[in-house]
Chain A
Amino acid sequence: MPTFTYMTRCDGCGQCVDICPSDIMHIDPVYRRSYNVEPNFCWECYSCVKACPQHAIDVRGYADFAPLGHSVRVLREEANGTISWKIRYRDGREKLFTFPIRTTPWGSIKPPTDYAAPDAAALDSPLLAHEPAALMVAALPSLPPRPEQG
């Protein structure tokens, strides 16, 4: 949309700079606050908006097709495992939505090394980690042996 930063809310912490997948949130050298250096390479992914602890970043729809007067605000709460959206239309209508984002605590994923090391022989099989159990079927499917192809 590009994103923009409100002057009075940004404290220059740089979380948006750190997360932006497009490397377009930079710190302005004079104001020491973030801004979007390349709006035409912004995907409106909201990664920076969600990451900003001060809620200082917002979005104004792409000028070439989005009329003014709208707003799509977001609150992503990792501890609750939810994300909430407030959508305001150009004509003032509002819509509110909340969706889950994760069912387990952050940081709780078991690394692959927490599982018993596989047999050396299994390295030559087509099985991937945790298979066949993880497939929830008896065996990894395979194709019947084939004659030489023509």
Chain B
Amino acid sequence: MTSPGDATPVKPPPSFSPGVGRSASKSRFPDEHEPTLSIDAELADTGSVSSPTPPLSATTAELRIRSASPQARSVRSSTPQLARSSFGSLFDGRFDGSEDIRSLIIRAFSPTIAVYASEDTDELIKNKGFKGGFWELLRPFGETITGKVIIRDSIGSSRAWEDYGVRFVDLKGLGRAPASRDSGRDSALAQIEEVLAQQLGSAEGSLGASLSSKDVLGFPATISLAKLFLRQLLSSTTAAPHETFGHPVASVITISSRNKAPLETLRQLYAETNTGDKRLPDWVHQEYLRYYVLVHDEDRDDITESTRLYDQMKRHFGLHCHLLRLRSSQCIVTDDDSVQVPHCEWLSPQEHLSGAGEAETLVDLGTDGTPYLFDSDVSAIKSFIRELTVQSVIPFMENRVAVWNDQVASRRRGISGRFMSMSRRWAGFGSSSRSGIGGSGGATSGNYDTEHNFYRQDTPEAILRKMADYAFMLRDWKLASSTYEMIRSDYGNDKAWKYHAGAHEMCAVSMLLNPLAMSAKIKLESIDQMFETACYSYLTRCSDATHALRCLALAVELLKSRGGSATESAARWAMRVMDFGLVGSVGQILFMERVAACYASKTPVGGAKWGARRRKAGMWSIFAADQWLKAGKPTLASACLEEAERLYADVLDADGVFPMPEMQSFIDNLRHAVKVEYLQARGFDTQDEPAVDDALGTEEISEKLDKRNHRRSLIGLPAQLDAGTLMSAGPRDAEDQPNDDFERA
């Protein structure tokens, strides 16, 4: 079990196959190893109530959330968490899943592959029930590639990744949007908020049961919400000039066996990607890989014919070809070998909103909205995508990175490149030169097109950015961060603010993702500075709220996963997000929970008790609970409240009473309100509620009379470790444990 907060910095993954270890632990451990470990924790708890003895410290560090809650408290917790409390939320601290979120972030930046299919192919696929054509058929399968994907980085060492994926987009829709997008920037955020609200509504409609059981499997609702938010945020950005993640790395040109003039059609399709109205805008690099696919119709056409055609294709177009054998008839659920098409993980908020509505109408009809495919089709598509990625796309990208690194980056890194950029700086603001296509144009000053606010695709600035993005997508974060580092100041000199912001953002992100680099504090400061710059450029200079929010959200999650003192700056960034007002009301509460999670993930130093941020985490959880309640979501509020109780457990006395009277009364009121609303939402009669509450009240009051003198205090003790364990272990067990039992009885 990898403990989320501190695993990464302490032990970097082995030099090969980091993905394997991580995803294996992620998928396997929750089922098998969790129960035994939690029993251990319980044993530890009953043995010595709140004092982490040195031999136990390893376990408690890993299981910090659980070990922080002595049993007595979780049993007595007054919040009405009926079914979920015993199961889901006990685990959520550990399932908080930094590794998971890290992988989510990594997968968000995966190569884009444009799909360009001939009419007859789309026709064939539409018959199978995919309205969007070939692109829609491929899309869900591209998100996870079966098996390991081995990538070689710039220094020649290769790594295997299990969670690699590619993003299929429709070539027709690519690069067209940005003009209209600019007006709709804010609406992207509004859409995210709407998606969240929708998800919340559906969760609340079935009282959280469906949400927790269906798609999150034991994760508490809010964690999955936070993930949904992040995923939406990361997929909301479309292809833009200033970053090339949305630009196609390759395009899949497809014909079907029904085509009468196959080779001519392929040529024509290829030509259309280069010229005419399908040509991508000027800021997209045109030299992307072309991959030719022949879709063979198993049901109607002759395979020998197709094989002959395929051989011909290979002779004409080289090795980047594939023969995809699909059946043309539509598959329905009742067919023998029907397989449900997986859901798309990376739907943009817009698609989510339109798609969700569609699914609802279909649910009324009693069928699921997702189409089905034959088993043979699924395996054919999967092996096609694997072959496409492993044999063509990744080698192509590796090759491009190597070439650009050699030709462009090294020249920029060298003495003349430095001189060039310096002379450019002093040359003043040159006229925007429009050098011809193919000209490297490195020497001319001012490659930045100030009128349209982009670098042409063949300028060194654009190529370097593309190279860094390729390296990032190949998960070679070292090369990526050094390249971003190199170009970020250039963008500033050219006053290309969006590029400037993007380079700073990605530089910081790739530094944080690089598992080996950076443990020193000075580095952390420079990363903070980069996020600061990126955020300022996005917000103030470009007023691009979506990217600013993405940048800050990445900062929060990645810094949190760094552990140690980075968690505090993660919390600070989360507060900044709230302060900037980038998120709506639901997002606001989610970020409150993130602050709590950040503080909760800060572990005590060594065996000492100080260094944790339990009280801060608890405070933010309480505030989040309050806000959930105000938003009318008592289920989530009670989850937060319980989380807060657990966080507060070891800083309070065993009786769980806050020393500060006003805090106590606020929390009591909150508990009561949550309980009432929760029961009301479930349709219980709340008439008998006051009686219960009275009982609760008297219980609390009686506890207040307890003497608290034997609370362990660090201040009074000369040596915090030994004395602490000696003092607290003995008398507390004897006195407090019976008390609790007595009250419960």
Partners in one complex: no
Chain B residues at the A interface, C-beta cutoff of 8 Å: none
